[in-house]
Chain A
Amino acid sequence: MSSPNEIPVGNGPADPAVPLDAPRRSLRTELLIGQLAVLAIVVLGFGGAMYALVRQGVYREAESDLLGAAQSIAQDLGHGDPRDDLRFARPHGHRFGPGPRDFAYFAIWDPEGHQIAGSNPLPPHVAPLERAPPLHGPRPFVVLANGPDIELIIAGPRNEQILVGRPLGRERDRLWRVFVWLCTVGALALGVGGLAAWWLASRVVRPLETLTQTAEQISARRLDQRLQLEPTTAELTRLASVFNGMLNRLQTAFQQQVRFTADASHELRTPVAVILTQAEHTLSRSRSEEEYRGALETCVRAARRMKRLVDDLLLLARADVGRLEIKAEACDLADVTRAALAWLEPLAAERQVRLSSQLHATHVLCDSAQITQVITNLVSNAIEYNRAGGEVFVTVQVQKNRAVLRVTDSGIGISPADQRRIFERFFRADPARSHRDGAGAGLGLSIVAEIIASHGGTIDVISTAEQGTTFTVDLPLAQSDSPETNSTSADL
Chain B
Amino acid sequence: MRVLVVEDEPDLRRLVAEVLVEAEYAVDIAADGEQGLQKALDSPYDAIVLDLMLPKLDGWKVMQALRKVKSTPVLILSARDAVGDRVHGLDLGADDYLVKPFERTELLARLRALIRRAAGQSLSQLFVGDLQIDLRSKQVALAGETVALTSREYALLEYLALHCGRVISRTELYDHLFDEGDNTLSNLLDVHVSNLRKKLGPELIETRRGQGYVIPE
**Nearest A residue to B107 by beta-carbon distance?**
A277
Q: Does B16 contact A (CB under 8 A)?
A: yes
Contacts of A185 in B (CB 8 A): none
Whether the Cβ atoms of A277 and B8 lie closer than 8 Å is: no
**Nearest A residue to B105 by beta-carbon distance?**
A280
| Distance of A70 from chain B, by nearest CB (Å) | 108
Q: Does A270 contact B (CB under 8 A)?
A: yes
Please indicate which of the listed interface residues B8, B12, B22 has the most CB atoms of chain A within 10 Å of its own CB.
Answer: B12
Whether the Cβ atoms of A435 and B10 lie closer than 8 Å is: yes
Per-residue CB proximity of A239-278 to B under 8 Å, as 1/0? 0000000000000000000000010011101101111111
- Knowing A266-B80, A435-B10 touch, does A273 contact B103 (C-beta < 8 A)? no
Whether the Cβ atoms of B11 and A262 lie closer than 8 Å is: no
| Distance of B109 from chain A, by nearest CB (Å) | 13
Size bracket of the B interface: 20 to 34
Those 3 A-B pairs whose CB atoms lie nearest each other, nearest first = A432-B55, A273-B101, A269-B79
Contact of A270 among B12, B32, B58, B82 (CB under 8 A): B12
Whether the Cβ atoms of A298 and B11 lie closer than 8 Å is: yes
**Nearest A residue to B32 by beta-carbon distance?**
A432
Whether the Cβ atoms of A270 and B9 lie closer than 8 Å is: yes
Q: Does B18 contact A (CB under 8 A)?
A: yes
Contacts of A265 in B (CB 8 A): 81
**Nearest A residue to B9 by beta-carbon distance?**
A435
Q: Does B53 contact A (CB under 8 A)?
A: yes
Question: Helix, strand, loop or mixed for chain A's interface?
Answer: helix
| Distance of B87 from chain A, by nearest CB (Å) | 16
Q: Does B68 contact A (CB under 8 A)?
A: no
- Knowing A278-B11, A281-B19 touch, does A273 contact B55 (C-beta < 8 A)? no
Contact of B104 among A269, A280, A285, A302 (CB under 8 A): A280
Contacts of B104 in A (CB 8 A): 276-277, 280-281, 284
Whether the Cβ atoms of A277 and B102 lie closer than 8 Å is: yes
Q: Does B56 contact A (CB under 8 A)?
A: yes
Q: Does B170 contact A (CB under 8 A)?
A: no
CA distance A476 to B32 in the complex (A): 45
Q: Does A307 contact B (CB under 8 A)?
A: no
Q: Does B148 contact A (CB under 8 A)?
A: no
- List 30 A-B residue pairs with CB atoms under 8 Å apart, sorted by A's residue number: A266-B79, A267-B79, A269-B79, A269-B99, A269-B100, A269-B101, A270-B9, A270-B12, A270-B79, A273-B79, A273-B100, A274-B12, A276-B101, A276-B103, A276-B104, A277-B12, A277-B104, A280-B105, A281-B15, A281-B18, A281-B19, A281-B22, A281-B104, A284-B22, A301-B11, A432-B32, A433-B55, A434-B8, A434-B53, A435-B10
CA distance A435 to B79 in the complex (A): 14
- Knowing A276-B101, A277-B102, A284-B104 touch, does A302 contact B11 (C-beta < 8 A)? yes
Contact of A274 among B11, B32, B80 (CB under 8 A): B11
Contacts of A272 in B (CB 8 A): 100-101
Whether the Cβ atoms of B11 and A431 lie closer than 8 Å is: no
Which residues of B114-147 have CB atoms within 8 Å of chain A's CB atoms?
Answer: none
Whether the Cβ atoms of B102 and A273 lie closer than 8 Å is: yes
CA distance A270 to B54 in the complex (A): 13
**Nearest B residue to A298 by beta-carbon distance?**
B11
- Knowing A269-B101, A435-B8 touch, does A298 contact B53 (C-beta < 8 A)? no
Additional A-B contacts beyond A272-B100, A431-B58 (15; CB < 8 A): A267-B79, A269-B100, A272-B101, A273-B79, A274-B12, A277-B12, A281-B15, A281-B104, A284-B22, A285-B22, A298-B11, A301-B11, A430-B55, A431-B53, A435-B10
CA distance A435 to B105 in the complex (A): 26
| Distance of B10 from chain A, by nearest CB (Å) | 7
CA distance A274 to B9 in the complex (A): 9
CA distance A213 to B191 in the complex (A): 81
Please indicate which of the listed interface residues B8, B10, B58, B79 has the most CB atoms of chain A within 10 Å of its own CB.
Answer: B79
Contacts of B103 in A (CB 8 A): 276, 280
Contacts of B19 in A (CB 8 A): 277, 281
Please indicate which of the listed interface residues B8, B15, B53, B58 has the most CB atoms of chain A within 10 Å of its own CB.
Answer: B15
CA distance A302 to B101 in the complex (A): 13
Which residues of B81-101 have CB atoms within 8 Å of chain A's CB atoms?
Answer: 81-82, 99-101
**Nearest B residue to A276 by beta-carbon distance?**
B101
Whether the Cβ atoms of B56 and A432 lie closer than 8 Å is: yes
Please indicate which of the listed interface residues A265, A277, A434 has the most CB atoms of chain B within 10 Å of its own CB.
Answer: A277
| Distance of A47 from chain B, by nearest CB (Å) | 74
Contact of B15 among A277, A430, A434 (CB under 8 A): A277
Which residues of A417-435 have CB atoms within 8 Å of chain B's CB atoms?
Answer: 430-435
Contacts of B11 in A (CB 8 A): 274, 278, 298, 301-302
CA distance A285 to B104 in the complex (A): 13
Contacts of B53 in A (CB 8 A): 431, 434
CA distance A135 to B100 in the complex (A): 121
**Nearest B residue to A291 by beta-carbon distance?**
B18
Please indicate which of the listed interface residues A298, A434, A435 has the most CB atoms of chain B within 10 Å of its own CB.
Answer: A435
Contacts of B22 in A (CB 8 A): 281, 284-285
CA distance A401 to B11 in the complex (A): 49
Contact of B55 among A270, A274, A276, A431 (CB under 8 A): A431
CA distance A273 to B79 in the complex (A): 9
